[in-house]
Amino acid sequence: MEAMRKSNYYMSLGMLGALFFVFGLVSWVNSILVPYFKISCELHSEVQGYLANFAFYIAYLVMTFPASALLSRVGFKHGVEYGLWILGTGALLFTPAALVRSYNLFLIGLFTMGTGMAVLQTAANPFVTIIGPIESAARRISVMGICNKFAGILAPIIFAAVVIRPSDKVIIDQVGAGLLEGPAKEAALDQMIRGVIPPYIVLGLFLFVFGYFFFKSSIPEVNPDGSGKDDVSEETESRSILSYPYLVLGAFALFCHLGSQAVSINTIMGYAQSMGVDMLQAKVFPSFTLGCILFGYLLGVLFIPKYLSQQKALIICTVTGLVLSFCVILAGSPVHLFGLDADLSIWFLVLLGIPNSLIYAGIWPLAIHDLGRHTSIGSSVMVMGLCANAIVPLVYAWLVDITGSARVGYWILVPCFIYMIFYAVKGCKIERW
Largest CA distance in the chain: 73
State pLDDT tens for residues 171-181.
Answer: 766 666 666 67
Residue 48 CB-density burial (10 A; 0-12 exposed, 13-18 middle, 19+ buried):
middle
pLDDT at residue 410 above 90?
A: yes
Q: By the 8 A CB rule, do 252 and 387 touch?
A: no
For residue 18, what is the DSSP state? H
* Radius of gyration (C-alpha) of the chain in whole angstroms: 21
Angle CA 381–383–388, to nearest 5: 105
Question: What is the domain-level CATH number for residue 256?
Answer: 1.20.1250.20
Q: What is the mean pLDDT of residues 306-330?
A: 90
Tell me the average pLDDT of the chain: 80
Q: Is residue 226 part of a domain?
A: no
Q: What is the mean pLDDT of residues 68-95?
A: 87
Q: How far apart are CA 268 and CA 234, in angstroms?
A: 50
Q: Is residue 144 part of a domain?
A: yes
Q: Is residue 315 part of a domain?
A: yes
Q: By the 8 A CB rule, do 128 and 16 touch?
A: yes
Length in residues, the chain: 433
For residue 333, what is the DSSP state? -
Q: Is residue 30 part of a domain?
A: yes
Q: By the 8 A CB rule, do 146 and 370 touch?
A: no
Q: What is the mean pLDDT of residues 220-233?
A: 54
Measured in whole angstroms, how far is the alpha carbon of residue 411 from the centre of its chain? Answer: 20
Which residues are bridge partners to 66 per DSSP? none
Question: By C-alpha distance, which of 213, 295, 214, 151 is closest to 16?
Answer: 214
Q: How far apart are CA 57 and CA 276, in angstroms?
A: 29
Q: Is residue 232 part of a domain?
A: no
Strands of 293-402 (E only): list them.
Answer: 334-337, 340-343
Q: How far apart are CA 175 and CA 181, in angstroms?
A: 8
Q: Which is more confident, 192 or 234?
A: 192
What is the span of the domain harbouring residue 133? Answer: 6-217+242-429
* Residue 433: predicted pLDDT: 78
Q: Is residue 47 part of a domain?
A: yes
Pick from 105-109, 362-366, 411-415 the range whose average pLDDT is largest. Answer: 411-415
Q: How far apart are CA 200 and CA 210, in angstroms?
A: 15
Question: By C-alpha distance, which of 18, 56, 289, 15 is closest to 148?
Answer: 18
Q: By the 8 A CB rule, do 124 and 115 touch?
A: no
Q: How far apart are CA 93 and CA 120, in angstroms?
A: 19
Distances (CA, A) of 372 to 140, 141, 186, 308: 20, 20, 58, 26
**H helix or E strand, kind and range, residue 418:** helix 413-425
Q: Is residue 236 part of a domain?
A: no
Q: What is the mean pLDDT of residues 147-162?
A: 73
Q: By the 8 A CB rule, do 317 and 359 touch?
A: yes
State pLDDT tens for residues 1-20.
Answer: 444 456 667 777 788 888 88
Domain count, the chain: 1
* Residue 425: predicted pLDDT: 94
Angle CA 374–375–381, to nearest 5: 85
Q: Is residue 341 part of a domain?
A: yes
